[in-house]
Amino acid sequence: MNPERKVVCGGLISAETLRRYPFLEEFAIHHINGAVVSAGGEEIVVKRKNVAVVLDRTVMFRGMLERAASAGAELHFRRWEGGDGYLVGADGATSSLRPLVTKQKVSYVLGVQAELPWEGEEDLVRVDFGPWSDVFFGWVIPLGNGRAHVGLGLSLERSSEAKTRLKLYGKYLGLPVERFEARLIPVSPPLRRVAKGKVFLVGDAAVHTKASTGGGIAYGFRGIDLLVEAVEKGDPSLYNRLHRVSIYPRLFLHWLVHRFYNSVDLPSLLRSVKELGLEKELSKRGSMDDPLFLLSPVFLKLIPRTFFPSGRTPPGRP
Ligand SMILES: Cc1cc2nc3c(=O)[nH]c(=O)nc-3n(C[C@H](O)[C@H](O)[C@H](O)COP(=O)(O)OP(=O)(O)OC[C@H]3O[C@@H](n4cnc5c(N)ncnc54)[C@H](O)[C@@H]3O)c2cc1C
């Protein structure tokens, strides 16, 4: 781990996550009041005051290291080369410790992002589905200083097109793209097992990422909470069970949402959201982190209206 590293991340977390982990306020740089979601010329706007916060992830990384050190952790800035005792694998998306815990295959999306000048709405994030992203979407996360994180997710087969695709999205937004950075995001069904023997996975290593959006901060912290709970109860192996009961079902739903938006006609889905008056419902009841709200009848009625027969590619998606 390099303490000087720049973290490539949108930095967006929900207000729910901020309430759970109030110390994150220290790294907050901007507050968000909603989102614009678009696909094929259709657009919905979901608004709720202070629904999310943008964190400075690079400052947060250093701040968390300092917190760990002042809580008594010994920091070693080198690759792990084996040893005795318990081992917490917090080694990111391509974790080299994950294979010690599970043989489950993990798939990835390439997260491509640039920081660009932004003159659009400062308090709304954008989620734009379109030809720039084959399995995900484009995003704009305003930073509150006339700049924004502008990014998109791509399948690994399309990774060589990262620059062209980001330029295409930039053109759609009216922004010139020169430089960009890219990192892997685990976008996969959740792991059934996150611990084995003395090895415990957390964060991206544990695939504690929401497959619907690629966000990994919220469940990364929740996984750590569960591991702490298991240790405090004197039985670290309890971590697997706690993960299966509280994180697994929610992450599995995020995976289903990812599969859903890749198999439906998104413009007609957004049209249905408007026709059924669900923009208001989303503003009131929607959650960035916990997708259980989608199982209420009011949202389930979207499924029969928009579902495509399997195997058919929705218009506008390559
Ligand atoms: C473009 C992009 C945008 C994103 N936007 C958002 C967002 O807006 N909101 C959100 O919630 N999430 C977002 N994410 C996801 C989020 O960034 C990750 O989920 C989160 O950073 C994962 O944290 P982590 O600590 O598990 O892994 P990492 O941040 O990858 O940290 C792993 C650390 O382990 C170190 N390491 C690796 N191997 C070893 C080893 N062998 N020995 C010692 N150290 C090692 C690495 O150097 C690194 O410091 C985004 C991701 C990308 C790529």
pLDDT of 311 > 90? The answer is no
Predicted pLDDT of residue 81: 64
Output the residue whose Cα is nearest ligand 1's atom 20: 216
Ligand 1 centroid–CA 297 distance in Å is 36
Predicted pLDDT of residue 310: 42
CATH of domain 1-77+108-186: 3.50.50.60
Q: What tens digit of pLDDT does each residue of 84-109 get?
A: 788 899 999 999 999 999 999 999 99
Ligand 1 centroid–CA 204 distance in Å is 6
Q: Please give the structure tokens belonging to residue 157.
A: 């087969």
pLDDT of 51 > 90? The answer is yes
Ligand 1 centroid–CA 216 distance in Å is 8
How far is the C-alpha of 62 from the C-alpha of 68, rounded, in Å? 10
Angle at CA of residue 13, ends 12 and 16, nearest 5°? 160
Query: In which band, very low, low, confident or very high, does the pLDDT at 301 lie, cut at 50, 70 and 90?
Result: confident
pLDDT of 313 > 70? The answer is no
278-285 and 266-275 helices cross at what angle (nearest 10)?
90
**Ligand 1, pocket-test mutation among 217, 287, 288, most atoms within 8 A of CB:** 217
* Residue-averaged pLDDT of the chain: 92
Q: Which of 113, 98, 163, 78 is CA-nearest to residue 6?
A: 113
Predicted pLDDT of residue 309: 39
